[in-house]
Amino acid sequence: MPEATAYAARLDRDVVEAAGEESAAFLQGQLSQDVLGMADGTSAWSWVLSPQGKIDALVRVTRLSSQGWVLDTDRGWGEALVARLNRFKLRTKITIEARDWDVVAVRGSAEIATAAPVVRADPAWPGVEGVDLIGEGLPLPAGMREAGAAEIEAERIRLGMPRMGKELDERTIPGETGLVARTASFTKGCYTGQELVARVDSRGGNVPRRLARLVPAAQVAEGTALVSGASGAPAATVTSVAEQPGGGWVALGYLKRGVDPEGSLSSEGGGIAVAVEGLVG
């Protein structure tokens, strides 16, 4: 898909609103991102972690004010996010509630006028130009091409954006994703799950597996085991795969430690060649 092509699409996202006079301090202690350092109207990606440092959710946090915040995450994970944050708030003066709001992606242009009240969220991801609109009952912008779900999924995979339930679950640690530099602050102070993030970073990011972009020569199924072309040893597992609008396939998967991040693999038993395009990050 040409980068200059403007389009709009509905994103498969859940939305959570947090508000209250102690909301900034609470989120600072629960998110890996430095939310106190954010300016009003800006967005950033962040982890919400368990005390053991495993991933509870990957969220985009948009700061409306010091007392108003919008968090969006992958569809199906909003309720779990609300429950996780509420479990830690104790007597903090903050309300955390799921909202039945839409998330509309606009790509190729950020100059979009809308009559509905919206939150304008920065995609904040390399290779993404545009804006995401968050609000209730949002229509797609008039006059723009509408991209379908398959095209959006292919774009997500091409950009190396992990998804909850695909690349991320309660067993995943941030260091495996290659996205710590983009999602966590090492200067903000303590937050839930910080210890494991800091320990992995201090050891040079040495983890048993790393997320990578893959280019299969033909369609492979999610969950397909990949082996090294040279030795036939287990090398990776496919987590997401999609056909690109212009043809060909793109995938994400976790490479085992020691596997060449620019090497060639093949599907176990199937013989489909899979090129490793490089690590995510």
Tens digits of per-residue pLDDT, 142-165?
Answer: 889 999 999 999 999 999 999 999
| % of the chain at pLDDT higher than 90 | 83
Summarize the confidence of residues 35-56 as an average pLDDT. Answer: 97
- The answer to whether residue 51 scores a pLDDT higher than 90 is yes
Summarize the confidence of residues 35-47 as an average pLDDT. Answer: 97
Return the exposure string of 73-107: e unless at least 16 CB atoms fall within 10 Å of the residue's CB, then b. bbeebbebbbebbeeebeebebebeebebbbbbbb
Best mean pLDDT range from 123-132, 208-217, 228-237, 258-267: 208-217
1-5, 69-73, 122-126, 187-191: which has the minimum mean pLDDT?
Answer: 1-5
**Predicted TM-score of the model (pTM):** 0.93
49-58, 67-76, 151-160, 268-277: which has the minimum mean pLDDT?
Answer: 268-277
> How is 243-270 classified by DSSP, letter by letter?
E-TTSSEEEEEEEETTS-TT-EEEETTT
pLDDT grade for 111, boundaries at 50, 70 and 90: confident
User: 159-206 pLDDT, tens per residue?
Assistant: 999 999 999 999 999 999 999 999 999 999 999 999 999 999 999 889
Show me where the domains of the chain are located.
Answer: 7-141, 209-279
CA–centroid distance for 211 within its chain: 12
- The answer to whether residue 1 scores a pLDDT higher than 60 is no
Q: What is the pLDDT of residue 172?
A: 98
Q: What is the pLDDT of residue 115?
A: 63
**CATH 2.40.30.110 given to domain 209-279:** yes
- The answer to whether residue 124 scores a pLDDT higher than 90 is no
In this structure, is the dihedral angle defined by the CA atoms of residues 58, 64, 65 and 67, taken in order, positive or negative?
A: negative
* Type of residue at 43: S
Q: What is the pLDDT of residue 121?
A: 95
DSSP structural state of residue 20: S
Cα–Cα distances (Å) from 262 to 48, 126, 180, 243, 248, in that order, read 31, 20, 21, 21, 19
DSSP structural state of residue 221: -
Q: What is the pLDDT of residue 260?
A: 86
Class of domain 7-141: alpha beta
- The answer to whether residue 41 scores a pLDDT higher than 50 is yes
d(CA 174, CA 201): 10
Q: What is the pLDDT of residue 3?
A: 42
- The answer to whether residue 2 scores a pLDDT higher than 70 is no
